[in-house]
Amino acid sequence: MARRTYLPRMAVLALLAWISNAPAAWQTVGSVVAVQQGADGTEFSTRSGARVRVALVAPDVVRVRMSPSGTFERDFSYAVATPPQALPLRVDGNAAGEKIVLRGADGGGVRVEITTRPDFSIQVYAGDGQPILSDDPQRPMAFDATDGAVEISERRDAHELYYGFGEKALPVSRHGQYMTMWNSDTPGYTPGLDPIYQSIPFFIALRDGKSYGVFLDNTYRSYFDMGKTEPSRYTFGANGGELDYYVFTGGRERAPANVLRAYTALTGRAPLPPLWALAYQQSRYSYTPDTKVREIAQTFRDKRIPADVIYLDIGYMDGYRIFTWSPHDFPDPKKLLDDLHAQGFHVVTIVDPGVKRDENFSIYRAGKDFYVHTAAGDELHAAVWPGMCAFPDFTHPQARAWFGSLYAGFLDTGVDGFWNDMNEPGVFVPPESTQPVLVHDPMKTFPLDARHDGDGEPGTHARYHNVYGMQMARATFEGVSKLRPQQRPFVLTRAGYAGVQRYSAVWTGDNDATWDHLALSMPMLTGLSVSGVPFVGADIGGFNATPSAELYTRWMQAAALTPMMRTHSAIDTEPREPWTYGEPYESIARAAIELRYRLLPYLYTLFADEVQSGFPPLRPLWFEYPRDVAASQVGDQYLLGKDLLVAPVVHAGQTKRRVYFPRGDEWIDWWSGAHFSGGKAVEVAAPLDRLPLFVRAGAALPTSPVAQNVAEAAKLPLILTIALGADGGGHVYQDAGDGHGAAETIAVELRGDRVHIERPATAHFRRVEALEFVGLARVPRTVRVAGKAIDAAFDVTTHRVRVPLPPAGNVDVVVER
């Protein structure tokens, strides 16, 4: 269908009329006629027959549900990790009055005001007493009595900005945008195209330095008009189901971090990935035959370019049948994988949902109780890579368990991780079609009336389309976890819904080899990050077409510190390995990968922190600096944690660029030691061989000597990189890098020129060998370790001083400048 440019309700009407040829009948829920207090919240019966339930499900989270029929469905969600329990509410007022006020039982914090007539409406106040969400009286809560669509509009300030919404090929702030949530296979998507692969209907609002968030938990096609149609309001709704949304008030501080912490507490946090999955990954569609895979692996080792992961795309299979190996191209896969493991590589294989319809194919025969069916009850068939296929119904728990069990053979062969693709779900447009093939062609996925189990709530594909890919990732994650409980699964998915982070990493699909796509990758990845999905990446160099040497090199630098660093390319492109373009590009690519390996201890620590806090490793500037207006729309820089500022070059021919340094902190050039005050934009040098990178004064970062893979790195000591100039500190998280065994933390405190290091009494993992101070203007007058003066070498080029440490115990280091 064409991109929508009309009012949201009219857009829904047009779509539904196209689907059903039935007229729509929009109506508001009307005035409140009865109020009832229950264990699940406060319920409001309305004149239309609809019922609304309002509940406080956490001290700073309000949930609103509206059922057009007046009967609520079962309280079930694919997004929610643990169903929230309603907290006690105090109700002031009744249906006879014009207002009803709901408060937490303790009388403080969040307050909800209900206007009872002429139409039900809600206003939510945060813990600081300020209103954050106010229904627009000109567009009250409404539903389509014929087709069941639902919608609500909220008043907005002209300067309120919106972030998140998952994977969107849009600028960093999504104000003034109209967005659709409908997972779509969109290879070579252009900047601004919407929707694409992922649907995460959650956003964080920012106004005057304060935030709140909204999550619409509805798996139908949904939409968000964030002031595009009418700047004074934003509107969201869905084509069916209940209007079920959460308001995250951000606590008394109204901080973005509080909003994301509450959202990830609801939808779950990503588990700590295996360390090898954070290292450099090399992929292509496809590395075949096995001799080519061996050649790629050996070249990495011969050229001393660090790498840990090689991917096998669909070319490794026998006729594209899932969980098979080509007998011609991969005659002995176990020997191949054993040899790769001996070289320090891990292997990830692609697994698509389509099961070839072939009675001689044992997996097809075994799955006949678990496939998606047509509206008529027949097994649904559509064409993808193997030809005509059937498709597991991943909304059926037994289908998930069966599919998860299929990974046993590959695990026994030595496969380390799994990549779920084509799971929007995407299928091929039938060749007999006489219609033009569109970007968002309705024939590129299952028919909307196809049938799913819905975990015991049978429904149509229109309802479960957006969770199909996420539930495939779930089947993979849970299956591998059951088969290898002593290891951490690595799963990568192209499609997903809110909560997908519990099961999988995400990449941004089939991007293009253009400078526009390089620039677009940063707001796309930070948008996913602040939508609760921390393990994200984009194909380096662009999947489609072949990048220039300069573009590939700059992309390699830009991705060096993103959570996932993977080169991947299409079958019809030129080779795409770090050495492809010769010198000087090979050395620059090597240096970018080496930078990642130096900083892997910091990245791993950030992932361990995310499990506890929900804060992603990759962050837009506004997330850490919400009161800095200039930071609110910076889309071509990112933060790694709170301590590293990364400013990649994203335009051809540039050897310098303007960098904005967030207000309130001082920043130090990683390479030269130059200092920059926060709150300013400065033009900095950016020669081809350098990624502009800056460390925050007051930071203490764990780093490592360069190694060729993580197994080799585990034998090397750590180095703490210290940026003096402000009080602060940091910490180092360590464990075995996989599994669920012991872990330990090293804490670092900075006070003035004194560094205090707190080490475990009994260390099991890498010891801290030295401190490296960055950004010193001159040779220190004295350096004292545990009270004793030592000689420390000063590098006049990098303005760094390296200080060796005793092998164990707590220690103080003082640098007298």
Contact residues for 558 (Cβ-Cβ < 8 A; gap 6+) = 518, 521, 522, 646, 648, 649, 650, 691
CATH of the domain at 722: 2.60.40.1180
Contacts 24+ apart (CB under 8 A), 359-365: 361/321, 363/321, 363/322, 363/323, 363/406, 364/390
Using omega within 30 degrees of 0 as the cis cutoff, is the peptide bond preceding 195 cis? yes
pLDDT of 86 reads 94
> Does a structural domain hold residue 748?
yes
pLDDT of 338 reads 98
Region class of 582: left (phi > 0), else alpha (psi between -120 and 50), else beta = left
- Give the C-alpha separation, 745 to 604, whole Å: 12
> Does a structural domain hold residue 318?
no
Q: Which residue among 148, 168, 203 closes a domain?
A: 148
User: Sorting pLDDT into bands at 50, 70 and 90, what band is 95?
Assistant: confident
The whole-number average pLDDT for the span 361-381 is 98
pLDDT in tens, 7-18: 344 333 333 333
> Does a structural domain hold residue 438?
no
- Give the C-alpha separation, 24 to 9, whole Å: 10
Q: Which residue among 131, 148, 165 closes a domain?
A: 148
Using the 8-state DSSP alphabet, how is residue 401 labeled?
Answer: H
Both tokens assigned to 710: 């993580």
User: Sorting pLDDT into bands at 50, 70 and 90, what band is 105?
Assistant: confident
In the chain, the percentage of residues whose pLDDT exceeds 70 is 97
What is the enclosing helix (H) or strand (E) of 745?
strand 743-751
- Half-sphere exposure (CA, 13 Å, Cβ side) for 59? 11
User: Sorting pLDDT into bands at 50, 70 and 90, what band is 22?
Assistant: very low
Are the beta carbons of 234 and 225 closer than 8 angstroms?
yes
Nearest residue to 85 (alpha-carbon basis) of 41, 36, 52: 41
19 φ, ψ to 5°? -75, -45
pLDDT of 104 reads 86
The whole-number average pLDDT for the span 341-366 is 98
The catalytic residue among 424, 609, 610, 636 is 424
- Give the C-alpha separation, 382 to 362, whole Å: 19
User: Sorting pLDDT into bands at 50, 70 and 90, what band is 108?
Assistant: low
Residue for token pair 């649907």: 199
- Give the C-alpha separation, 540 to 236, whole Å: 34
Region class of 664: left (phi > 0), else alpha (psi between -120 and 50), else beta = left
Sign of torsion, CA 347 352 357 359? positive
- Bridge partners, 803 (sequence order): 771
518 φ, ψ to 5°? -60, -50
Sign of torsion, CA 442 445 446 449? negative
CATH of the domain at 100: 2.60.40.1760
pLDDT in tens, 323-340: 999 999 999 999 999 999
The whole-number average pLDDT for the span 278-307 is 98
The catalytic residue among 510, 628, 666, 738 is 510
Both tokens assigned to 20: 């059903």
> Does a structural domain hold residue 384?
no
Respond yes or no: is residue 510 known to be catalytic.
yes
> Does a structural domain hold residue 97?
yes
Residue for token pair 């919106």: 162
pLDDT in tens, 249-270: 999 999 999 999 999 999 999 9
Residues in the chain: 817
Give the dihedral of Cα atoms 523, 528, 532, 533; nearest 10 deg.
-130
> Does a structural domain hold residue 330?
no
- Bridge partners, 756 (sequence order): 749, 812
The whole-number average pLDDT for the span 112-140 is 96
- Give the C-alpha separation, 559 to 510, whole Å: 16
The whole-number average pLDDT for the span 572-583 is 98
Q: Could you please report the per-residue DSSP string of 609-652?
A: HHHHH---SEE-HHHH-TT-GGGGG--S-EEETTTEEE----ST
- Give the C-alpha separation, 567 to 518, whole Å: 13
Three-class SS of 454-467: CCCCCEEHHHHHHH
pLDDT of 16 reads 37
User: Sorting pLDDT into bands at 50, 70 and 90, what band is 568?
Assistant: very high
Both tokens assigned to 200: 């995460």
- Bridge partners, 452 (sequence order): 459
**Relative orientation angle of helices 549-559 and 515-529, to the nearest 10 degrees:** 10
Which of 493-497, 498-502, 754-758, 794-798 shows the lowest per-residue confidence on average (mean pLDDT)? 794-798
- In this predicted structure, the answer to whether residue 592 has a pLDDT above a threshold of 60 is yes
pLDDT mean across residues, the chain: 95
pLDDT of 12 reads 37
Are the beta carbons of 239 and 149 closer than 8 angstroms?
yes
pLDDT of 17 reads 37
Contact residues for 297 (Cβ-Cβ < 8 A; gap 6+) = 310, 340, 343, 345
Are the beta carbons of 801 and 783 closer than 8 angstroms?
yes
- In this predicted structure, the answer to whether residue 763 has a pLDDT above a threshold of 90 is no
- Bridge partners, 501 (sequence order): none
> Does a structural domain hold residue 58?
yes
Q: Where in the sequence is the domain holding 811, given as residue range(s)?
A: 717-816
Q: Which residue among 99, 114, 148 closes a domain?
A: 148
Residue for token pair 């600028």: 171
Both tokens assigned to 270: 């990503």
Report the domain count for the chain. Answer: 2
Respond yes or no: is residue 424 known to be catalytic.
yes
218 φ, ψ to 5°? -145, 120
Using omega within 30 degrees of 0 as the cis cutoff, is the peptide bond preceding 584 cis? yes
pLDDT of 793 reads 85
The whole-number average pLDDT for the span 636-648 is 98
The catalytic residue among 421, 594, 735, 738 is 421
The whole-number average pLDDT for the span 225-247 is 98
pLDDT in tens, 716-734: 999 999 999 999 999 999 9
Determine the Cα angle at 743 with ends 642 and 534, to 5°: 40
> Does a structural domain hold residue 804?
yes
Looking at the chain, the number of H-run helices and the number of E-run strands are 14, 53
In the chain, the percentage of residues whose pLDDT exceeds 90 is 94
pLDDT of 107 reads 57
The whole-number average pLDDT for the span 168-178 is 97
User: Sorting pLDDT into bands at 50, 70 and 90, what band is 24?
Assistant: low
